[in-house]
Amino acid sequence: MLTIGMLGGMSWESSAEYYRLANVLVRERLGGLHSAKVVLHSVDFAGIERMQVEGRWDDAGKALAQAAAQVRAGGADLLLICTNTMHKVYDQVSAAVDIPVVHLGDTTADAIKAAGLTTVGLLGTGFTMDQPFYRERLESHGLKVLLPSPEDRATVHRIIYDELCVGIIREESRRAYQDVIARFEGAEGVILGCTEIELLISQADVPLPVFPTTRLHVEAAVERAVQTVL
């Protein structure tokens, strides 16, 4: 079995879900006492978040590239950046290691296309929704990506950083997300494009098909990892 490298801590609330899902999925695939082989590097998110706010993306990329090299040195055969937003520095991270870095946008796009959809709404941090790096990756797969209104984007972002990243799950916030999703016009599905959103919203909460990026990311990694066993 290949060893999955995880670059996490952004936030650790969702990184814990990455770790849990990897082990659950490996057990489902292989049975018995099988579990995932994982090397996890968890950063201090406070420093990364400050770089985000200050627009110091190059500094953030250097920090994550250094962490990625440590994950590789720990024996990882492939790498996951366990956050949608920090895929903005994907190229810096990828250049720092000699192993595949599975792009979260690609795994999400593959799932959307497999479902036969072409137009999707995107929820995520303000950085992920406002900046082009993530949308353009999805659009490169032939998808049309819809965004919430500026007011709704502010609400989605606030709930992520003020609540989900610190482990707060509120029914009021779930309803707020449902309202944002209901205002998407023409969307055939919805991307839960922040790894913490899956702590709040599931398919049961939304009438449209949802694409949970954390689960899709881990599924793609586990599929690669177990091929040497099957």
Regions of the chain where pLDDT drops below 70? 230
Q: Report the pLDDT value the prediction gives residue 100, as an integer from 0 to 100.
A: 97
119 in the same domain as 56: no
114 in the same domain as 148: yes
Beta bridge partners of 50: none
**DSSP secondary structure, 72-122, as one string:** HHTT-SEEEE--SGGGGGHHHHHHT-SS-EE-HHHHHHHHHHHTT--EEEE
Note the pLDDT tens digit of each residue in 108-120. 999 999 999 999 9
CB-count burial class (<10 Å; 0-12, 13-18, 19+) for 99: middle
- Count the domains in the chain: 2
Q: Report the pLDDT value the prediction gives residue 187, as an integer from 0 to 100.
A: 96
Query: Dihedral, CA atoms, 84, 100, 216, 160, nearest 10 degrees?
Result: -20
Q: Report the pLDDT value the prediction gives residue 228, as an integer from 0 to 100.
A: 72
Active site residues: 83, 194
Residue range of the domain that includes 111: 105-212
Longest dimension (CA), the chain: 49
201 in the same domain as 121: yes
Q: Report the pLDDT value the prediction gives residue 230, as an integer from 0 to 100.
A: 61
CATH number, domain with residue 80? 3.40.50.1860
State the chain's mean pLDDT as an integer.
96
112 in the same domain as 141: yes
Q: What is the pTM of this model?
A: 0.94
